[in-house]
Structure 1
Amino acid sequence: MVGREVEIIPGHELLFTWRGKRKLFELVGAQTENQFAIKMGELAKTDKLDDELFGKMYCIGLNWKRGGPVISQEETEDIIEEFCQINGYGSNEVRDKLIDAFCESGIYDKSVIQASRKLREQMTEDKVIELSKMDKGGSDTGEAGQTSTLTS
């Protein structure tokens, strides 16, 4: 299995080993990487990718070291909270860090994820540009102008 740990906070890394991957897949009812990606997409569409599910996935990924200390679900939540507080992050960054670990563990295709993120950034930039153009065109100057009266 391909794998490189993804650091959450110093001393705590996410990695999905062979055993961890099986637990992760079991959590969403998948048996293969492809099924897992499809299930994750379905969960996202139905708004079921919540903090509780992410917490369970983090817990699996933090407990990858054989013979290492077992990190409880409560400790996992503390680690995620510390990650957010140290970096000023929120739910999007928690999700992205988990996806990074999926990539480094060989579950997701890294190039597909990078392309998706680049597209998301481009769409955001395009939307900002579009909104700024709309704002300039129809602003109210307070000056008298032509009015329309509709009669039936």
Structure 2
Amino acid sequence: MASPMPVDGVAAASAPAAAIPGGNGGAAANTPAATASPAVAGSAPVTTVLNTELAMLEDTSPSAAQKADARRPAAPVSASYKLRIKPWGTLYVDGKPRGVSPPLKQIVLTPGKHTIRVVNPGFPEYVTTIQVGKNKSGAIEHDFAAH
């Protein structure tokens, strides 16, 4: 009897056919359970076949970084608006305070419709609505003393 062929790097144990389930009581058997047969001529060794099948099953899903990037919302395209407020005023955009101009000289707005309110306690407030386009710049100008 030939020595057993290693399967996936581990040698098969030598045991009489009777001790192997499915063996035929010690008679020479050609069943896979009874003996480890050499590879069929022209076929790949078992380990190569298994490694190839494992390679096909490898995780090809996006990496964690790619998944995080996919969940992250795209940065909105913004527009820069210069501020020319005289003598000065507190600027509100969509009801939220954005600072006092001057010294604030510009603000960055996202595309869309925005309500701009400029307040100086010595004058009536100035309110306007602007439609901001993608990558468009503009200016918000108001002279309280001139009105």
Q: Which structure has the bigger radius of gyration?
A: 2
Question: Which is strand-richer, 1 or 2?
Answer: 2
Question: Which is helix-richer, 1 or 2?
Answer: 1
- Relative contact order higher in (CA < 8 Å, ≥ 6 apart): 1
Give TM-score, length-normalised by structure 1: 0.29
Give TM-score, length-normalised by structure 2: 0.29
